[in-house]
Structure 1
Amino acid sequence: MKTYHLFISHSWNYGYQYNSLTTLLRNRPLFNFRNYSVPESNPIIGARTDKQLEVAIENKVKASSVVIIMMGVYSTYSKWINKEIAIAKRLGKPILAVKPYGATNTSSVVKGAADEICNWSTESVISAIRRLA
């Protein structure tokens, strides 16, 4: 069975969406993934400047086959999510935008950068990852 290498971009202020998505992926039978994300519980150690942090994130994105970004409106205003989009584009990594469950407003920035957009459901997300990887 294939293992999918994923970078899940997210804001630490909205960590519950990240946690929900990783739980959704982990609980799906017959789907394996390696998570290259930077959750609040496991930050990048040693990056003292924004440039060092950007290089560290770039290395994680480089190792990934798909970059997943939540389409919450907060994404439009996040400096780091915008940098992660730029890194993914520069490295030629496909971007999967996931509409947060029940969201009525979404980020036009993420929507414009996405190679594919899917709804918040296990099968939608898994199918999109498989198509993009």
Structure 2
Amino acid sequence: MDAKQLTYKLYISRSWNHSFAFNELDNLFHSINQSSGGENDCFSFQLAPSPEYKGRRRYELIREKMRECDAVIVLCGVYNSYSDWISKEIVASKHELNKPIIAIRLYKERTISPMIKKHADRIVELNADQILDAISEFIDRS
């Protein structure tokens, strides 16, 4: 990890609300934090706001949570129930806050959301090395 920053701050998209997917991601980041020697966590997280918010308020909460983050982590798959949510996350991250989007493809996932394909700065597998490379590439540039 670069000496400039001890902890990468990541915004975790609402698309990770599928518990099996979030548990996989959480376990992966936990193991990365453990392997860093345990003195400092490599990652801290801002989880997307509660789904109870709608419209403009939802967008404002998303933007507020993203503001201090270094990158946005989204799932690659097509999740119709989250399309409005992900659209708001993309607008906030790309058009207002200039945050990189790192899309993660789960095992054997073949379908990638066209919206994610168009806006993601990098698409990687659920693999610690690939995720770390993508995060450090975009964060160390800034």
**Does TM, scored on the shorter chain, surpass 0.5?**
yes
Structure 1 residues without counterparts, runs of 5 or longer: none
Flag the 1:35–1:75 CA change in 2: closer, same or farther, 3 A: farther
Higher Cα Rg, which structure: 2
1:106 aligns with 2:116: no
Structure 2 residues without counterparts, runs of 5 or longer: none
Structure 1 SS opposite 2:11: strand
- The answer for the alignment partner of 1:9 in structure 2 is 13
* Structure 2 length-normalised TM: 0.79
Structure 1 SS opposite 2:89: helix
- The answer for the alignment partner of 2:27 in structure 1 is 23
Structure 1: how far apart are the matches of 2:138 and 2:111? 25
Kindly state the Cα deviation for residue 11 of structure 1 after the two structures are TM-superposed: 2.8
Question: Are the aligned partners of 2:100 and 2:121 in contact in 1 as well (CA < 8 Å)?
Answer: yes
Question: Are the aligned partners of 2:9 and 2:68 in contact in 1 as well (CA < 8 Å)?
Answer: yes
Q: What is the identity percentage for the equivalent residue pairs of Structure 1 and Structure 2?
A: 33
Structure 2: how far apart are the matches of 1:97 and 1:48? 24
Structure 2: how far apart are the matches of 1:70 and 1:3? 22
Question: Are the aligned partners of 1:75 and 1:81 in contact in 2 as well (CA < 8 Å)?
Answer: no
* Structure 1 length-normalised TM: 0.84
Kindly state the Cα deviation for residue 58 of structure 1 after the two structures are TM-superposed: 0.5
Structure 2 SS opposite 1:22: helix
User: What is the number of residues matched between the two proteins?
Assistant: 128
Flag the 1:6–1:36 CA change in 2: closer, same or farther, 3 A: same
Matches within 5 A, 1:71-110: 71-74=76-79, 78-90=83-95, 91-110=97-116
